[in-house]
Structure 1
Amino acid sequence: MKVLIAIDSFKGSISSTEGSKAISLGIKDVYHDAEIVILPLADGGEGTVEALIQATGGQSIKKEVTGPLNEKVDAVYGILGDEKTAVIEVAAACGLPLVPSNRRNPSVTTTYGVGELICDAIEKGCREFVIGLGGSATNDAGVGMLQALGFSFLDQHNEEVGLGGQELQNIRKIDVTHVHPKLKDCTFKVACDVNNPLYGPSGATYVFGPQKGATAKMVKELDKGLEHFAQVVLYELDTDVHNIVGAGAAGGLGAAFSGFLHAHLQSGIELVLDLIRMEEKIQGVDFVITGEGKLDGQTSMGKAPLGVAQLAHRHHIPVIALAGGISEETSILNKLGITSYFSIMNAPMSLEQAMDPKVTFDNLRLTTNQLFRLIQAVR
């Protein structure tokens, strides 16, 4: 019996590493000599750094950087096992959880710390970057990040503009003469699962601004700032950053990465599966187990379990999905590669109880144990 375990974290409850351990124990309870391959998983969002470090034998790096409110914060990123690839979640440096709810204001929050993480990784020898977009508290089109990398954005007095989305309307010129010299040797792969343009009704500000603390008035002003910024970039650099698919991700960081750093924006789960060499490691497997905290309509839109299932389906390998909660629309997943899915809940309990890490661990182990008892009986 050979089983590959590739689950996402059960957010707020248990990491993909710990969850995989529980599932592995459940299998071993039944098949004592089972060969088990564990690939911690993420879809480019929260948990991506940890998952890729685990999968490649990499290391985590802690670095003090400028946080979203221009105050110092400790951020963690990863250097993968090849020692040349850095993996960075932008939320580590400019994420919404770093801003108290009463101070959320995308007019002033900055992505400067993301650029500082990139600079640190460059100095440590990295030339390839995997970036997870999402969860940002910002709306500055990535200008803060670019300033940290040496790009200059000048106002009408030829002075550097300040930090935050409110400064975008003041930009008149872009100076690239002092850009980090090693940046030209770097390649960026960006996990981006939204397709919003930079500005407009479906752009960064109107869609994501309110959850970052933007008032209705602020949304209008910030959107004007993004539009103005795009026009300046088009005039100064002959680059259209507005119409890039995903430009509006993470408050416009998608535009900055693609337009200034020539990044390739792609599906998060496809990027992760490629990096952990899933296609290679799935060979000869009897079952694949995947899962996440909740299986719902969002899962079918390209989240981690679906990516795993589609790859396994191409190799005709049955896929079992485990989750804490399962919604009604999940049945579509059976048509998309998941053979069968199960909730690990086995008794009525409160959400707080259900999300207790020990309860989740025990429930994952027990459910897996029972499933493989059934498999053993019919094989």
Structure 2
Amino acid sequence: MNIVIAPDSFKDALSARDAAAAIARGIARELPTATLHQCPMGDGGEGTLDALLAATGAERREANVQDALGREAVAAWGWQADTRTAFIELAEASGLQQLKRDERTALHSTTYGVGQLILAALDAGANSLLLTLGGSATNDAGAGMLAALGARLLDADGNPLAPGGAALARLATLDLAGLDPRLAALEVQTAVDVDNPLLGPRGASAIFGPQKGASDADVATLDRSIAHFADHVARALGEDHRELAGAGAAGGMGFAARAFLGASLRPGIELVMDQIGFDALLADADWVITGEGQLDGQSLSGKTPIGIARRAASHGVPTVALVGRLGDQWQAAFDHHITAAFALADGPMTLDEALSRCDALLSDRAQSLARLWCASHSMSG
């Protein structure tokens, strides 16, 4: 029996690699002779860089950057010398997981560190970039990234804007003359984990701002501020990308990547599966197990379990999802080739307890799945 174990990370609890190992331990207790292919995945958020490095053999490098709050930090990125391709994960520089819960501030967080990583890639001689978006602590529509790459965003007095999305309300001048000229020759693919537009009720601020510390009033402020920024961008470039599917990814970084880097936007899980040769694993698979922290209606917009299930279904392979929580409208996943889904909790527990026990809970649920598999095949035999 061949089982492909392809989870995403469980936010604040387990990396994708650790999640895959926990599932494998549980399966092995009941199916010790099964061939288990551990394939950590990512849809653009935290952990995607690790999945890409493991699959491609690219070199892990580090750069000194600013984090989402402007503090000094070290962020990893990937370098594939033979193809001169750089792999950059936004969450490494501007990720939500790097901030304590009481530090999250969607109004003022910045993507400046992502621009610094792009400069490091350009300095290495990159002619191709795969930029993964997801897991961000930011809601600045890529304004911080632009500033790091040489653009000037000025208020009415000619002063540089403060970091963050809220400050964009005061934007009077968008000066792109200083953008690094090497960007013109850089081919950019952007991996997004959602298909939301930039603005409005399904936009970056409304849907994702609250998890980054935004109140209802903050969401309204951010949406107005980013709309003002988008107006300036449209006038400067003669193109308006605010309605583009995925423009709202990572607090509007999808918008900035398309507008200023000329990036193509694709569902992150599809890009990752193509990079790691996932179809070859599915060709001989009997079963796929995937998972992440939560499965809900938003998962249909490009999250890992749905992408995995769709690809597996094209090979006739069933997919089971193990998730920390089954959220609103999770049953819609059945219409997108999830065969079955199970939450991890084995009784009432606090979030902190669930996070601390995630490894054991995941392993135990995987063991139960293996027992169910054995029982069903014994009865059918």
Tell me if TM exceeds 0.5.
Answer: yes
- The equivalent residue for 1:360 is 361
- Structure 1 326/80 Cα, relative in aligned 2: closer, same or farther at 3 Å? farther
- Which residue number corresponds to residue 124 of structure 2? 124
The corresponding residue for 1:45 is 45
How far is the alpha carbon of 1:104 from its aligned partner? 4.7
After TM superposition, the structure 1 stretch with the greater mean CA deviation from structure 2, 114-123 or 327-336, is 327-336
Alignment pair present for 1:190 and 2:190? yes
The residue number in structure 2 matching 1:291 is 291
Residue correspondence of structure 1 range 76-155 to structure 2 within 5 A: 76-79=76-79, 84-99=84-99, 104-155=104-155
Q: CA deviation at 1:342?
A: 4.6
Q: 1:343 to 1:198 in 2, by over 3 A?
A: closer
Q: CA RMSD in A?
A: 3.4
Within 1, Cα distance between the matches of 2:63 and 2:186?
Answer: 20
Cα gap change, 1:226/1:276 in structure 2, threshold over 3 Å: closer, same or farther?
same
> Contact 1:115–1:148 (CA<8 Å) still a contact in 2?
yes
Q: Report matched runs for 1:120-269 at 5 Å.
A: 120-156=120-156, 160-200=160-200, 202-214=202-214, 219-269=219-269
Q: Determine helix, strand or coil for the equivalent of 1:129.
A: strand
- The range that moved more, 369-378 or 301-310, is 369-378
The alpha-carbon deviation at position 230 of structure 1 amounts to 2.1
**Aligned pairs, how many?**
378
TM-score with structure 1 length normalisation? 0.83
Determine if contact 2:151/2:174 at 8 Å carries over to the other structure: yes
Which residue of structure 2 aligns with residue 350 of structure 1?
349
Using the aligned pairs only, state the percent identity: 39
Q: Is the 8 A contact 2:45 2:90 kept in 1?
A: no
What SS is found at the alignment partner of 2:65?
A: strand
Structure 1 contact 153–175 (Cα < 8 Å) conserved:
yes
- Secondary structure of 2:24's match? helix
Alignment-mate amino acid for residue 239 of structure 2: T
How far did 1:116 drift? Answer: 0.3
Residue 256 and residue 326 in structure 1: after superposition, are their counterparts in 2 closer, same or farther (change >3 A)? closer
TM-superposed CA distance for 1:163, in Å, is 3.1
Aligned partner of 1:339 in structure 2 is 339
Alpha carbons 2:195, 2:302 under 8 Å: kept: no
3-state SS, counterpart of residue 243 of structure 1? coil
The amino acid that maps onto 1:122 is L
Letter in 1 for 2:90: V
> For 1:228-286, what per-residue CA distance to the aligned partner results, in whole angstroms no more than 9, with x for missing partners?
32222222221213333333333322221111111122222222222222123311222
Q: How does 1:293-332 map to 2 (within 5 A)?
A: 293-326=293-326, 330-332=330-332
8 Å Cα contact 2:46/2:92 also seen in 1: no
1:41-60 Cα offsets, whole Å, 9 max, x none, are 12222322222222333343
Match of 1:280 in 2: 280
Residue pair 1:14, 1:360 contacting (<8 A) in 2 also: no
CA contact (8 A) 2:29 2:367 kept: no
In the alignment, the residues of structure 2 paired with residue 293 and residue 222 of structure 1 have an alpha-carbon distance, to the nearest angstrom, of 27
Runs of 5+ unmatched residues, structure 1: none
The corresponding residue for 2:7 is 7
Q: Structure 2 vs 1, CA of residues 121 and 32 (structure 1 numbering), >3 Å: closer, same or farther?
A: same
1:323 Cα shift?
A: 3.8
Q: Closer, same or farther in 2 for the Cα pair 1:323/1:207, shift >3 Å?
A: closer
Residue 36 and residue 203 in structure 1: after superposition, are their counterparts in 2 closer, same or farther (change >3 A)? closer
Alignment-derived partner of residue 65 in structure 1? 65
Distance verdict in 2 for CA 1:24–1:104, change over 3 Å: closer
Confirm or deny: 8 A CA contact 1:60 1:76 kept in the other structure. yes
| SS of equivalent residue, structure 1 residue 62 | strand
Give secondary structure in 2 for the equivalent of 1:7. Answer: coil
Going from structure 1 to structure 2, the CA distance change for 1:83 and 1:60 (only over 3 Å counts) comes to farther
